[in-house]
Amino acid sequence: MNIQRLALNIVGGLSLVLGIIGIVLPLLPTTPFVLLASACFMRSNPRFHQWLHQHPSLGPVIDNWEKHRGVTRKVKQRGAIMIVLSFSFSIWVVPHVWLNAALLLMMFVLLAWFIRLPVIESLAGKKESH
């Protein structure tokens, strides 16, 4: 295995773990980490990438993104709320004004991008968890 595939597998694995933790931990977003894991595994581990696509909870999120470059209304609502909550918590915890300003700017940029994503309907017969 070359170094690039190894790095992609490590990043994909860490992203997937963070995404799964995000299912139960409200301030950690699930969807971006699962999408990053899918992108990494698509380039480094096709078998695991296929498994992610066939997963009953994670697969529909990945399929919607890859086919339509969009998310369901439920994912968009939860994502926007979690972005605001997680950045607000970070801003509250960080004691430096300049870091708070940078976090605030990043939050607005991320929200502007996220809110502009197209809303699509769920895939028929599949359920999305996040």
Q: Is 94 found in the same domain as 76?
A: yes
44 occurs within a structural domain: yes
With contact defined as beta carbons under 8 Å apart, do 65 and 35 qualify?
A: yes
Reported confidence tier of residue 114, pLDDT bands at 50, 70, 90: confident
- What is the rounded average pLDDT for all residues in the chain? 85
Question: Number of folded domains in the chain?
Answer: 2
pLDDT above 70 (res 122): no
58 occurs within a structural domain: yes
Q: Is 5 found in the same domain as 45?
A: yes
Q: Is 61 found in the same domain as 75?
A: no
Q: Is 87 found in the same domain as 46?
A: no
Q: Is 59 found in the same domain as 4?
A: yes
127 occurs within a structural domain: no
Q: pLDDT, tens digit, for every residue of 25-82? A: 766 778 888 988 999 999 999 998 999 999 998 888 888 888 888 888 888 888 888 8
Range of the domain at 60: 1-68
With contact defined as beta carbons under 8 Å apart, do 83 and 29 qualify?
A: yes
